[in-house]
């Protein structure tokens, strides 16, 4: 006979207790798994801290430049590598840390092994799991020798006493537990390698997937911010709203149809006659890829050209074959007038551009990209291609933020996207307003 | 006679056609073409925009312009549109842009007659030309040149600017909105000024006509017994 004295309330309490126990066990397991990999064997092996030699520091300096460490780890106008730059994520802002050799504020108290644990495993010296805004999800592929070289270089830069600023993350993302769970679900350290590969093919993959951390922007992410396992699809950057196109999609950012020299030129100079680096990519070129050695740039370009192509239908939010949309006649006439008044003097009456100065708009992939954010942000803020050794004095585009309304920008962009053989969907006022608000922040 | 008139008319007609063709914007591989992004807002002589005044760039000392470009890029001056515009440029190109604008010479418009009282203008004149020793405020002329047209390469001229713009800059220094490379002498001076001083000096400066053929001076006026020692990171 069953115990009929048990009230429903007591049964509920018991179930809650079991649920609580199970939850705790799962979380404890995830905590362990999320931090796994950073303590065993490697940590116990003494850091063979041979004194850094000049060659190592030089290699580290090159790697730090190409990997663009300084860009995130330097506040606007602040000391190099002293941190303090806020990075927008869907979960709040992460503030970059001081990686200068100051013992208190920076990583002066670290050794090469501690640094390797951060790069390869995403764990700080004090046992904290690091936020993947520091892209150890990519850096885990960096070889031990290159990690040591980077460390040797960072220990040689001027020390700064700038203290770490707190992150501004929403609960529960602000907790170490959430981070451990995330790591258990989405992060697995890459197989450790001693030195960087030498064959061109492997070197290209090594630089793009590791130090270059290209996929951190050029890949879709899931709701918890993890890179999509296929590495496919583009990504709208939180905060700035710039769209990083997929590198595996011909209608977005694939370089399969560029020649090798064109691809190398884009990385080393920010321009190649077919495309101009703009927005965050301009910063990547300015501070990072323009310093690539010819052989590294070639290797990266070869690898990027050979990336498998997605079929448009499988790409979420991408430009599935566009059925040419005819904008309504009134709006099109308004767009044409605005174009003649504000754009044609540089970009030409027929969107033909001016070689070496102003990009053509006819047949330009950046114009017809399904996601119109980059186009809108360019019109709003204007700007220059990055000033590089190959393009030291770029031509500028004025900002139109204060001259044109959302409706005007929508009309002129819709016109440009459907004129001279272009066949992309119109841009709505709403499409203009979201990036405008992001830019006004 | 008739044929002469006809010839003159057709000459005039073709000359007209020729200048029409010239009027159409034509691409030229020049710094002026490269910096259309700047002149779109600043104009040739400075102009008012929907959100404030865009000061003239032409004829200002190159070092001063270069410093301002760096200040915007590195967040010591705050105007997001300006910062976003030049974010992707390196020091060498910013210097080239500064040199380009500094080499231009355009006429200054006649100053707008000031609506300020004679007493306020006199207060401004005294501050600008003599300073106020008991408060430790140097005269503007001590650093910005006797003619107040600036000193090469780093100190800007103060004439030919509207009162609103001057007011906003001094106010920005007082509140910490505008900075220069440390030691920031203008921040120090602006904080020593009283509320009415800012307006007084802005009103007086903006009501002064710019001397014909005005250019930045080549060196600072010689120190006198009235000189108040100032450390300026942006104009060492």
Average pLDDT over residues B163-187: 93
Nearest to A381 among B85, B89, B92 (CB): B85
For A329-440, the fitting CATH number among 1.10.1040.10, 1.10.760.10, 1.20.1090.10, 1.20.58.2240 is 1.10.760.10
Closest by Cα among B56, B61, B63, B55 to B234: B63
Question: Cα–Cα distance between A110 and A42 in angstroms, integer?
Answer: 15
The half-sphere exposure of A276 on its side-chain side, counting CA atoms within 13 A, is: 26
- Beta-carbon contacts of residue A53 (< 8 Å; ≥ 6 apart): A152
B-chain CB neighbours of A439 within 8 Å are 80, 84
Peptide bond into A339 cis (omega under 30): no
A397 — phi, psi (to 5°)?
-115, 130
Mean pLDDT of A127-153: 97
User: Do the beta carbons of residue B123 and residue B196 sit within 8 Å?
Assistant: yes
Per-residue pLDDT of A175-205, as tens digits, reads 999 999 999 999 999 999 999 999 999 999 9
Tally the residues of chain A: 441
ipTM of the complex: 0.87
- The number of C-beta contacts closer than 8 angstroms across A and B is 85
What is the per-residue pLDDT for B112? 86
Q: Which residue of A has its CA nearest to B25?
A: A345
pLDDT value at residue A382 = 97
Q: Is A395 on the interface with B (CB under 8 A)?
A: yes
| pLDDT(A36) > 80 | no
Q: By percentage, how much of chain A surpasses pLDDT 70?
A: 87
The yes-or-no verdict on residue A317 having pLDDT over 50 is: no
**A230: pLDDT confidence band, cut at 50, 70 and 90?**
low
Q: In the prediction, which pLDDT does B2 show?
A: 60
Which of A387, A392, A440 has the CB atom closest to B88's CB atom? A387
Residues of chain B with Cβ-Cβ distance to A392 below 8 Å are 92-93
CA distance A224 to A311: 25
B40 at the A interface (CB within 8 A)? yes
Do A87 and A165 meet the contact criterion of CB atoms below 8 Å apart? no
Span B106-118, pLDDT tens digits: 988 889 888 999 9
pLDDT of residue A182: 95
- Does pLDDT of B174 surpass 70? yes
Q: Determine the residue among A68, A77, A360 to mutate to test chain B binding: the one whose Cβ has the most chain B Cβ atoms within 10 Å.
A: A77
Three-state DSSP at A407 gives helix
Mean pLDDT on B134-154: 96
Most A-contacting residue of B47, B83, B89 (CB-CB within 10 A), to test interface: B89
Please give the Cα distance from B39 to B56 (Å, whole number): 9
CA distance, residue A354 to nearest chain B CA (Å): 8
b/e A91-117 (16+ beta carbons within 10 angstroms → b): bbbbbbbbbbbbeebbbeebbbbbbbb
**Residue A136: Cβ within 10 Å count:** 24
SS3 for A225-287 is CCECCCCCCCEECCCCCCEECCCCCCCCCCCCCCCHHHHHHHHHHCECCCCECCCHHHHHHHH
Q: Looking at residue A440, what is its pLDDT?
A: 76
With 50 as the cut, is the pLDDT of residue B16 above it? no
- Can you read off the two tokens belonging to residue A86? 């806020």
CA distances from B181 to A112, A152, A215, B68, B222 (A): 36, 31, 38, 10, 24
pLDDT above 70 (res B35)? yes
Assign 3-class secondary structure to B165-213: HHHHHHHHHHHCCCCCCCCCHHHHHHHHCCHHHHHHHHHHHHCCCCCCC
Q: How far is B63 from chain A (nearest CA, A)?
A: 18
Residue A357 to residue B29, Cβ atoms within 8 A: yes
pLDDT exceeds 70 at position B20: no
Is B34–A393 a contact, with Cβ atoms under 8 angstroms apart?
yes
Q: Name the residue among A75, A387, A401 with its Cβ closest to that of B89.
A: A387
Tell me if B151 sits within 8 A of B145, measured CB to CB: yes
More confident residue, B45 or A192: A192
Confidence of residue B199 (pLDDT cuts 50, 70, 90): very high
- C-alpha A420/C-alpha A411 separation (Å) is 16
Rounded Cα–Cα distance for residues A329 and A335 (Å): 10
Asked whether residue A41 carries a pLDDT value surpassing 70, the answer given is: no
Q: Which residue has the higher pLDDT, A313 or A19?
A: A19
Mean pLDDT for B15-41 is: 75
CA atoms within 13 A on the CB side of A427: 31
B84: confidence class by pLDDT, cuts 50, 70, 90: very high
* Contact with chain A for residue B132, Cβ under 8 A: no
Most B CBs within 10 Å, among A377, A384, A386, to test the B interface? A384
Q: Are B114 and B206 in contact (CB under 8 A)?
A: yes
Grade residue B214 by pLDDT with cuts at 50, 70 and 90. Answer: confident
Decide if pLDDT at A140 tops 50.
yes
Statement: residue A31 has pLDDT above 60: yes
| Phi and psi torsions of A232, nearest 5° | -110, 170
Chain B residues with CB under 8 Å of A396 CB are 34-38, 85
| Residue with tokens 């760039």, as numbered in its chain | B57
b or e along A175-213 (b: 16 or more beta carbons within 10 Å of the residue's beta carbon)?
A: eeebbbbbbbebbebeeebeebeeeeeebbbbbbbbbbb
- Contact between A228 and A222 under an 8 Å Cβ cutoff? The reply is yes
CB contact under 8 A, A346 and B36: yes
Tell me if A402 and B51 make a contact (CB, 8 A cut-off): yes
Query: Per CATH, the architecture of A200-314 is what?
Result: Orthogonal Bundle (1.10)
- Does B212 score more than 90 pLDDT? no
**Cα separation, B231 vs B186, whole angstroms:** 10
Q: How high does pLDDT run on average in chain B?
A: 89
Q: How sure is the predictor about A45, in pLDDT bands with cuts at 50, 70 and 90?
A: very low
């Amino acid at each position: 006979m069953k115990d009929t004295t048990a009230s429903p309330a007591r049964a509920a309490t018991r179930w809650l207790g079991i649920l609580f126990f199970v939850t705790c066990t799962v979380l404890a397991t995830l905590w362990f798994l999320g931090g796994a990999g950073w303590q065993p064997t490697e940590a116990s092996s003494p850091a063979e801290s041979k004194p850094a030699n000049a060659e190592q520091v030089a290699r580290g300096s090159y790697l730090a430049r190409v990997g663009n460490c300084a860009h995130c780890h330097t506040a606007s106008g602040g000391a190099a590598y002293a941190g303090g730059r806020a990075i927008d994520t869907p979960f709040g802002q992460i503030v970059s840390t001081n990686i200068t050799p100051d013992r208190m504020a920076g990583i002066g108290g670290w050794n090469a092994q501690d640094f390797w644990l951060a790069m390869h495993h995403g764990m700080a010296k004090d046992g904290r799991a690091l936020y993947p805004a520091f892209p150890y999800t990519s850096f885990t592929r960096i070889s031990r020798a290159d990690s040591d070289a980077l460390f040797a270089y960072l220990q040689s830069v001027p020390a700064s006493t700038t203290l770490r600023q707190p992150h501004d993350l929403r609960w529960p993302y602000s907790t170490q537990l959430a981070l451990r769970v995330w790591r258990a679900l989405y992060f697995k350290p890459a197989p450790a390698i001693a030195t960087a590969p030498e064959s061109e093919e492997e070197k290209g993959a090594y630089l793009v997937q590791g130090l270059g951390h290209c996929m951190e922007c050029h890949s879709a992410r899931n709701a918890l911010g993890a890179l999509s396992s296929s590495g496919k699809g583009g990504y709208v950057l939180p905060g700035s709203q710039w769209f990083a196109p997929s590198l595996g999609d011909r209608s977005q950012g694939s370089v399969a149809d560029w020649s090798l020299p064109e691809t190398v030129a884009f990385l080393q100079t920010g321009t190649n006659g077919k495309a101009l680096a703009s927005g965050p990519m301009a910063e990547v070129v300015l501070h990072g890829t323009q310093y690539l050695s010819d052989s590294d740039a070639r290797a990266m370009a070869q690898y990027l050209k050979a990336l498998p192509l997605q079929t448009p239908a499988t790409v979420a939010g991408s430009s599935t074959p566009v059925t040419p949309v005819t904008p309504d006649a009134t709006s099109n006439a308004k767009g044409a007038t605005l174009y003649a008044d504000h754009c044609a003097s540089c970009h030409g009456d027929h969107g033909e551009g001016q070689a070496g100065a102003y990009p053509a708009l006819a047949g330009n992939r950046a114009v017809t990209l399904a996601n119109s954010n980059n186009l809108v942000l360019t019109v709003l803020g204007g700007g220059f291609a990055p000033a590089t050794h190959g393009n030291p004095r770029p031509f500028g585009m004025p900002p139109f933020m204060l001259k044109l309304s959302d409706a005007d920008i929508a009309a002129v962009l819709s016109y440009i996207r459907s004129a001279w053989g272009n066949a992309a969907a119109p841009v709505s006022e709403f499409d203009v307003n979201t990036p405008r608000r992001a830019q006004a922040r | 006679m008739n044929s002469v008139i006809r010839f003159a008319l057709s000459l005039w007609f073709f000359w007209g056609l020729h200048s029409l063709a010239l009027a159409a914007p034509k691409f030229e591989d020049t710094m002026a073409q490269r910096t259309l992004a700047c002149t779109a807002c600043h104009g040739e002589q400075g102009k008012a925009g929907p959100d404030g005044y865009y000061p003239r760039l032409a004829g200002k000392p190159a070092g001063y312009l270069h410093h301002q470009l760096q200040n915007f890029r590195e967040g010591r001056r705050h105007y997001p549109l300006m910062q976003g515009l030049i974010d992707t440029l390196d020091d060498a190109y910013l210097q080239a842009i500064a040199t380009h604008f500094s080499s231009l010479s355009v006429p200054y418009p006649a100053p707008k007659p000031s609506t300020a009282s004679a007493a306020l203008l006199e207060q401004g004149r005294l501050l600008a030309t003599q300073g106020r020793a008991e408060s430790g405020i140097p005269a503007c002329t001590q650093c910005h040149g006797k003619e107040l047209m600036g000193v090469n390469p780093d100190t800007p001229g103060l004439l030919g600017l509207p009162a609103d713009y001057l007011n906003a800059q001094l106010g920005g220094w007082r509140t910490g909105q505008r900075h220069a490379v440390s030691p920031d002498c203008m921040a120090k001076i602006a904080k020593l000024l009283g509320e009415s001083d800012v307006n007084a000096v802005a009103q007086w400066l903006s009501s002064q006509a710019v001397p014909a053929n005005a250019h930045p001076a080549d060196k600072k006026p010689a120190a006198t017994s009235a000189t108040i020692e100032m450390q300026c990171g942006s104009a060492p």
